[in-house]
Amino acid sequence: MKINTDKLFDEVVLSKDYLQSNWEQWKQEETTRDVIISSEEKWLRLFGHLKENHIAAPNLIKIVKFAFCLPGTSAPVERVFSLMNNAWTDDRGLMKESTVKGLKTCKINIGLASEDFYIKIKNKKDFLKNVLANENYMQILFKFLFLIQSVSFYLSNL
């Protein structure tokens, strides 16, 4: 990312003036409306002001865009590892990586338990027709259905 530090300094000074002159108004607005103005909203207001006044701030915009694309926490990654550990137990250790990947993709993107997903799709003819037309999805679906049957059989024999 190329940043012109001299121009960035000017952009920050102009931004600081705007932010300082509006800070008290925002605090009052938050108190009156009983809401918190997010940092994103404050940046949007600043850049809106700069645009209305035909003030270019390309360096500051680059930095803010970069800062907002960084995740605030590692929680999403931690969740994936947790789901993987739950799926790949000693009892299921013989599953191929592709099977586990398919199961986790369904779990993360659909948000349903495997049995609930099966119930939801089993009578959707158009969906199943499209899945069967695609080899990759067909393989995942058959593995999924096999897994459901295996789990059902395992649970019934407990």
Annotated domain spans of the chain: 1-69, 72-157
- Of 34-43, 48-57, 76-85, give the lowest mean pLDDT range: 76-85
Residues composing the chain? 158
CA distance readout (Å), 38 to 42, 65, 80, 87:
6, 15, 28, 37
pLDDT tens per residue, range 56-102: 999 999 988 888 887 777 887 787 778 777 766 666 666 677 777 77
Q: How far apart are CA 45 and CA 19, in angstroms?
A: 9
pLDDT of residue 98: 74
Say if CB 119 and CB 144 are below 8 A apart. Answer: no
Q: Sort 2 into a burial class: Cβ within 10 Å, 0-12 / 13-18 / 19+.
A: exposed
Q: Which residues are CB-contacts of 87 (< 8 A; sequence separation ≥ 6)?
A: 95, 100, 103, 104, 107
**What mean pLDDT do residues 120-130 have?**
76
Report how far residue 99's alpha carbon sits from residue 47's, in angstroms, rounded to the nearest whole number. Answer: 47
- The more confident residue out of 130 and 62 is 62
Average pLDDT over residues 133-145: 64
User: What b/e sequence results for 109-137 when a residue is b if at least 16 CB atoms lie within 10 Å of its CB, and e otherwise?
Assistant: eeeeebeebbeebeeeeeeeeebeeeeeb
